[in-house]
Structure 1
């Protein structure tokens, strides 16, 4: 799928973002929820869930944005979300 797609995405598909592969799946029991599972990198199987408050499906471009935000939080060595070292 191309990031420029503007329509809602299929219920399940695979998406490559910045050379990382993710399985994307909408959750039919949670309207607007989408599960992202990483298939490449140092922690395959690790991922995240996002949910839209309007319960709508996301566009491919919105999926790409969500995955990039996740990857920005992930330690590239471990593949897991970095610890907060700020002491808060």
Structure 2
């Protein structure tokens, strides 16, 4: 699934063999192949709005100078 959040593009995929786990590839980010994952307890599916919120949370934590999560 393609997802655009606050002008940033992500490709979101459900991780094969891991119910409830989603991988986010940050397509518009400055670092190729960088992204994050999120998981739901019990393997439930996430709705699009929950995926968008996960992406927003990630973006809030990114250091704009490096494009990586702030330490």
Tell me whether the two structures share a fold, i.e. TM-score over 0.5: yes
Structure with bigger helix share is 2
Q: How many residues align?
A: 71
Q: Which runs of 5+ in 1 are unaligned?
A: 1-12, 84-88
Q: Which runs of 5+ in 2 are unaligned?
A: none
> Which residue of 2 is the match for residue 16 of structure 1?
4
> Which residue of 2 is the match for residue 4 of structure 1?
none
TM-score normalised over the length of structure 2: 0.93
TM-score normalised over the length of structure 1: 0.76
- Give the C-alpha shift of residue 52 in structure 1: 0.4
CA distance in 2 between counterparts of 1:80 and 1:50 reads 17
Runs of 4+ displaced beyond 4 Å: none
